[in-house]
């Protein structure tokens, strides 16, 4: 057995089957057959593609992914000819990439492409959850020359992938567009249209340089230092620490334990907002500063009791408390009582908006809080029937 670069999988050397009626042919280079999951196979193909190895695949829909290490680049291009096997029963593993492939290509970190694709995939949860329309995504970041770009596009053509790209250099983007058109690959340019629209709006040509490119110096701005200061402040104010500093916070979050106050606070802090959070615990007096601070800064968080109980059980288990440990922290009766106690606190402070966080991602809850924050700061009226979001 030959060790694979990834310890979770193995590569097995195979030889031609013995046949006494036929003279032994000349020894051929051993071909390694990849054993592993479809996800690993996709990763390995991409890695081999980048390193210039030749990828040989059967002509039929499923088969063995064979990697020929002796293959070399020819004239700067990648050879991707399909191969067939003499005996299908000898295959080590059948690679069944059942998911529709999506290739994300970026000349930078790929953050924009990845998050755009994830946002779009969110519209298909109804079929992604039950694997009704499975999708496999792969990110190629730091693609800054046409040769590597063409290799990836050629591989996308072989796999029937959708190509999504964010390429700041107009010539690179145009090369991707023309290659996809030539090879019949469905593609989407995420960055190009909005860049062109902003350029037309400003009357200024874009630089065409990706972030982090040589010669592009981005000075540390005041906004950067404000974000650092906000993160430091928020960490110190976590879970009701230093209540005397609540008045210095731009946003104050309050709610029972495990409603996501801390991760939400850190997320907002990374955007430059000073955030403090205070836990509501039944039988424990809340700090006076919470009621003395500007009420327009405060937002309450609430959650479904069953979801809260599940989260608290997981939290207790992570802290080493077994099922037999005596604690009412995750008992449904106590959970409901504590939520009811929090509801009464919110009712006594009607100017605090109460945000329902059940089923919401941190980003979604943060978007609601920031909308409220800016509406209040700019003295905008925000029509609403209910205070739940």
For 73-128, what is each residue's pLDDT tens digit?
333 333 333 333 334 333 333 334 468 999 999 998 899 999 999 999 988 888 87
Q: What is the pLDDT of residue 179?
A: 96
- Give the pLDDT mean for 253-270: 95
**Sheet with 135-140, side-by-side order of all strands:** 135-140, 100-106, 162-166, 187-189
pLDDT above 90: percentage of residues in the chain: 51
Assess if CATH 3.40.50 describes domain 222-377: yes
Q: What is the mean pLDDT of the chain?
A: 77
Assess if CATH 3.40.50 describes domain 100-202: yes
Q: Decide: pTM greater than 0.85.
A: no
For 182-205, what is each residue's pLDDT tens digit?
999 999 999 999 999 999 999 999
Q: What is the pLDDT of residue 317?
A: 83
Give helix 38-51 / helix 146-159 axis angle, nearest 10°: 150
Distance between CA 131 and CA 150 in Å, rounded? 31
Domain residue limits, the chain: 100-202, 222-377
Distance between CA 382 and CA 328 in Å, rounded? 40
- Give the pLDDT mean for 352-368: 92
For 207-242, what is each residue's pLDDT tens digit?
888 776 666 666 677 888 999 999 999 999 998 888
- Give the pLDDT mean for 142-148: 92
């Amino acid at each position: 057995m030959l060790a694979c670069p990834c310890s979770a999988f193995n590569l097995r050397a195979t030889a031609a089957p013995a046949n006494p009626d036929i003279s032994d042919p000349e020894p051929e280079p051993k071909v390694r057959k990849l054993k592993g999951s479809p996800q690993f196979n996709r990763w390995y193909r991409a890695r081999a593609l980048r390193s210039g190895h030749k990828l040989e695949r059967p002509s039929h829909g499923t088969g063995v992914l064979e990697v020929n290490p002796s293959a070399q680049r020819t004239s700067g291009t990648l050879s991707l000819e399909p191969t067939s096997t003499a005996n299908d029963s000898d295959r080590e593993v059948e690679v069944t990439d059942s998911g529709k492939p999506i290739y994300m290509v970026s000349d930078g970190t790929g953050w924009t492409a990845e998050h755009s694709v994830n946002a779009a995939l969110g519209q298909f949860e109804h079929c992604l959850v039950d694997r009704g329309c499975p999708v496999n995504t792969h990110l190629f970041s730091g693609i800054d020359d046409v040769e590597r770009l063409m290799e990836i596009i050629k591989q996308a053509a072989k796999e029937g992938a959708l190509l999504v790209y964010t390429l700041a250099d107009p010539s690179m983007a145009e090369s991707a567009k023309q290659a996809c058109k030539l090879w019949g690959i469905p593609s989407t340019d995420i960055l190009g249209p909005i860049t062109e629209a902003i350029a037309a709006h400003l009357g200024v040509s874009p630089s065409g340089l990706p972030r982090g490119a040589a010669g592009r110096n981005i000075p540390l701005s005041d906004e950067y230092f404000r974000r650092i200061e906000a993160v430091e402040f928020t960490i110190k104010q976590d879970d009701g620490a230093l209540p005397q500093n609540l008045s210095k916070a731009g946003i104050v979050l309050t709610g029972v334990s495990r409603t996501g106050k801390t991760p939400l606070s850190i997320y907002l802090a990374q955007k430059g907002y000073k955030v403090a959070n205070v836990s509501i615990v039944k039988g424990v007096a809340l700090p006076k500063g919470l009621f003395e601070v500007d009420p327009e800064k405060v937002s309450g968080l609430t959650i479904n009791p069953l979801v809260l109980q599940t989260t608290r059980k997981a939290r207790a288990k992570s802290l080493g408390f077994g099922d037999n440990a005596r604690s009412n922290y995750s008992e449904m009766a106590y959970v409901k009582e504590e939520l009811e106690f929090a509801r009464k606190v919110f009712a006594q402070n009607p100017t605090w908006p109460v945000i329902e966080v059940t089923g919401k991602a941190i980003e979604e809850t943060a978007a609601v809080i920031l909308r409220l924050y800016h509406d209040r700061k700019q003295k905008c009226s925000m029509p609403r029937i209910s205070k739940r979001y």
